[in-house]
A and B are shown apart, each in its own frame.
Chain A
Amino acid sequence: MTGAVGIEYTRVRELRGPLLFVEGVSGVGWDEFATIVLDSGGRRHGLVLEVDRDVAVVQVLEDTAGMNRTGTRVAFSGTPLRIPVGAGWLGRVCDGRGEPADGGPPVLGGSYAEVGGAPINPVRREPPDEAVLTGVGAVDVLTTLVRGQKLPVFSAAGLPHLELAVQIAAQATCAGEPFAVVFAGMGLTHADAAFVREGLAARSAARELVLFVNTADDPVIERLLTPRLALTVAEHLAFTEGRHVLVVMTDMTAYAEALREVSAARGEIPARRAYPGYLYSDLASLYERCGRIRGRPGSVTVLPVLTMPAGDITHPVPDLTGYITEGQIVLSAEVQAAGTHPPVDPLASLSRLMRKGTGAGRTRADHPAVAAQLIAALARSRQVRELADLIGRSALSPTDLRHLDLEEAFRHRFLAQGTDENRSLDDSLDRAWEVLLTLPRSQLGMLPAGLLDAHAPPRDQEAR
């Protein structure tokens, strides 16, 4: 973190929550970065939320605890917050403000970038159409992650979203092209933070990982900065250095809570569930930083992870996220209770960009048809299961019973996967075929006959 120290102001008028009001300022611009020195000599950092005549309102990232009106000095940098960017971040572990947490020296870079970023010109965007393979079958086959996409994981308390996020971060590849992962942890417990560091140690050692961790007992406001640092570092790695970068941000609910806290301290008019009215735009300012740019080799893919409070998908954080992102991977307590890992709900999950990112020349020629047929068959299986609950298994037709078998096979042969099992796409697709072929050929109408002939053993012809 840089910031030239200019004039120091000492007339603190008010301290409230994370906000510091300083009087007598001159020429201080909105959104400038500020450095605050305490009586005790401690240094803190902040951003200008408002300037009204000679009063500046500063949001203090490390909170205002211990600050007083007489011994606090504030200096403004004259620019928005800028951080060094470059390959120097690779292999580093930092706290939520970007300060090294691995005992190494501060990260230096050849150039600096504003953490707020700048919107990508819509006409310069390249529509995403190549896959990121995660080695997780349920994701790769059914909700394929596409380079430049934003695809969130919707989870709930007690579900293994962090395990899934770490597995994806550890295994993801882009067909041998230069790749990196930027992992931003917000509000993680120390145990979770240790789990992330351990799970990604190999990737970090290979200098393919940047890790930012804001723990649950770190300053809450710092969380507003963490994803922006991660995205700024990622954008440079992608669009200047030509890497494909996957940005994992967890937990976005903790981020939104920090935003709400600042909003409340400022006395803003609350919208749904007391979140600020600009929650949508604020989340969009993070998620929309994904993408590809015409004529540049790299890509930024964003995988936000969020826990739905009380499992409620209509809660503002998942709801607004869903409006911005291109699909979602939904984890289900029901699948978890059945003992399957990862507990992905295939019917509620969707990748909107998958159509362009899969198929011949992208993944495998049979991929789109297999995925569509598997989803359709699972939807039918779910209906049949509900019917069986009502009227009993004995009243089901033979075809319906095969659908119940399909659901079993799906869970055990396809969905279930160890947290350290890196499954190739070919393996995953072959398993999908194996699951589909529990059904008679007549029920596989979405698969072209040529494909069926190649995969279905002749004994299945009897079902016609």
Chain B
Amino acid sequence: MTARERIAGNVAGYVDDRTGAAKWMKKNLTKVFPDHWSFLLGEICLYSFVILLLSGTFLTFWFDPSMREVIYEGSYEPLQGLEMSAAYASTLDISFEVRGGLLMRQIHHWAALIFMVGIVVHLMRVYFTGAFRKPREFNWIIGVGLLTLGIVEGFLGYSLPDDLLSGTGIRIAEAIIQALPVVGSYLAFFAFGGAFPGVAFIPRIYTVHVLLLPGIFLALITVHLMLVWYQKHTQFPGPGRTEKNVVGYPLMPVYMAKAGGFFFIVFGVTAFLGAVASINPIWLYGPYTPGQVSAGSQPDWYMGWLDGLVRMAPPLETVTFGYTISWNILIPGLILPGIMFTGLALYPFIESWATGDKREHHLLDRPRNAPTRTAIGAMALTFTLVSLINGGNDIIATTFDLTINQMMWFSRIAIIVLPPLAYVITKRLCLSLQRADRDLVLHGRETGRLVRMPNGEFTEIHEPISPEKAWLLTSHEQLAPLELPEYDGAGVRRPAAIKNKIRNRISRSMATAVPKATETERKELEGHH
């Protein structure tokens, strides 16, 4: 035994004597994780969150979250002598006076964008592969919560510098609060400590941005990861993989090295972006004043869809009994996002209700094998994408020489027409892919070799696919639709008839599929040849 081994043994013994951790650690250090590139998406979110904590802490050392008016005397000449808030002035100082400050600001902003992209793409992976199914519904809801908080946290973050662009964003947020029926103006005055913009808002959102929300994030991320750990990761179907096992690599050492290495890679790429790609150059925008705005004002991308919805809303406002309701703000700013996020959070429950499937699932679906789910996802993405595009309608219009009116009318029509179209096309595509899979299993792979038969007929040689591939293409389950009774034994409509009818219909749609190839069919075909 070397000296080093002896010391390690002593330390481990010391800790175990006091905690009994050895048993738990032994089990968990050999824990198996399945490998797939798409499982790294969640890791990207986790690592960018750590980068956000580190770079954010750095920024707090110099940032002064105050709306006190100061005269700028820093080294950036175009703004010298201008009146501005201490928040804006200190952000300029971080950018120009603190060595590495601009780098950290840019790393922080890029990490936030990567965090949000990571969350959205991770969510898409989980959705389209059905990873949210029992027993992982809790984690799905936590994930939706993290997405929502991420949007809020990001918005508060880019609002803090109090530049002209972010102040305009805050103005819009204030208008949304103010538009709430009955309590709107009161809530707005409470949030801003009086009339807009006041002097209280930046210090208040600073506390929320650096303390309250990161605390909630930490708690939710911890639970999210503990559940992944405890429930074991899902895996893609394939030879040797079942609902009852996990095939992959042990945590120690392979996963530790890979995951640890990946953290450094994400940090390295973020630092690279911070080094070469300018982001949110607040010195170009100038300090916030409510009487000014710059053309082409755009929020960060994860707010863009919301802005796009607000932009395309029809000019609808009603006054009843002397009280004003701004539908043009409430519908796109609160009601639609409310429906979108509630639907997202409830989706696992809706699907299991519709299919009647209450079993545990640890094998992922290939998206084509769940055509209705995939189509619903494509529909939701199309809706969000059209909104996002409309959020940049002014930029698109000037770039492509269109008028704002053309852009806006395109979006207003597209937001209604394109999502259902995406649903239909995606579903058809999935079924076609299923048909292709079936063909592949039954008739084999096209080799491209043409052979002329003695009778003059030309045929292409098909080669059978490997047993592994054949298994991959046929291992999925095909659920039968629900057939809930609408009439009882005596032919009388049951009380739950309408509910059952709806459920039957949805479940029939969910169960649409091209029957998968079977060994029996393969053998029959062989008999023919």
Task: Tell whether A pairs with B.
Answer: no
